Amino acid sequence: MKQWTTIFPNDTLRFIDDTQSDILPYQSFAIDDSLIETIEHSKPTVRLWRHHPYVILGIADTKLPYLTEALTYLEQAGYKTVVRNSGGLAVVADEGVLSVSLILPEAKTTSINEGYEKMVAFVRELLKPWTKDIKAFEVVGSYCPGDYDLSINGQKFAGISQRRVKNGLSVQIYLALTPDHQSRAKLIQTFYQIGKKNDATRFTYPDVEPRTMESLSTLIGETIDVSHMVKRMKHLLSMHFTLEEDNLTEKEQAILIKREQQMIDRNKKALGPFF
């Protein structure tokens, strides 16, 4: 695409860093929704977040024939679960995984592919000090595979999804920064093996091969943790934009209450006692 800075239509960006917050994953998705819903009357927003060990499920994952057994396995392995409101399948969140949301207006004039391309361009610029070898294609054997998986030498370290509300758009990415990413992949591999067994299913679930995935730190041969990446992102953005670090407005807070309840209701219905 064009110069990466054209992703953002304004010279001023909101920058929300929730990486040190104790909010839960369902609240993170609700926050994004409140920002998307009001983005036409706000500024383009970059939001960062991470969580303690969680497996974030897609809606299709809740249709696994042996879901209860699979959720029990995750619980015993020390992972809580939540069902997100954006596309995709199961992914792992923990202290070494940074999630980034680019929240933008004009969703109705931005195609699905254009939304993905915006994030790809941003991440390539973000990681330029370490690598210029990032490729975007589906990494078969990875968890939550998609056409815009980000990989180096064929090993996936990041996945992208989108969420659209009214005329707002959130392009969300997880960046697996620190090892051991193959252990994360093994966790999801076992989750599907238990949840599906050999049954025929309506949805196609990935046959996860852990060797197809790796952490960014391992791939570039240098340790990059979440705090390091947050600093890099702030530096990059502040070179080109005026950053406003603030909290949600009163209107966004009011919408957040509604969106949180929707997430709670969805998860209680889908996960029952596991939520």
Report the relative pairing of strands 150-152 and 91-93 from DSSP bridges: unpaired
Catalytic positions, written as ranges: 144
Q: Is the per-residue pLDDT at 264 higher than 70?
A: yes
Contact 26, 267 (CB under 8 A): yes
For the chain, the structural domain boundaries read 4-274
pLDDT level of residue 3 (50, 70, 90 thresholds): confident
- Segment 172-185 shows an average pLDDT of 98
Mean pLDDT for the stretch of residues 54-65: 97
Specify the pTM: 0.96
Predicted pLDDT at 81: 98
C-alpha–C-alpha distance, residues 160 and 100, integer Å = 10
Q: How confident is the model at residue 263 (pLDDT cuts 50, 70, 90)?
A: very high
Q: Which residues pair with 82 in a beta bridge?
A: 56
| 62-90 mean pLDDT | 96
* pLDDT tens column, 214-253: 999 999 999 999 999 999 999 999 999 999 998 999 999 9
Q: Residue 132: which residues within 8 A CB-CB, separation 6 or more?
A: 124
Q: At residue 50, what is the residue type? A: R
| pLDDT value of position 270 | 96
- Average pLDDT of span 83-107: 94
pLDDT digits (tens, 9 = 90+) for 124-163: 999 999 999 999 999 999 999 999 999 999 999 999 999 9
* Structural fold of domain 4-274: BirA Bifunctional Protein; domain 2 (3.30.930)
pLDDT of amino acid 158: 99
Mind listing the pLDDT tens digit for each residue in 8-36?
A: 999 999 999 999 999 999 999 999 999 99
- Residue 87 pLDDT more than 80? no
Which tens digit of pLDDT belongs to each residue from 197-212? 999 999 999 999 999 9
d(CA 122, CA 100): 11
- The pLDDT confidence band at residue 2, using thresholds 50, 70 and 90, is low
Q: How far apart are CA 84 and CA 14, in angstroms?
A: 23
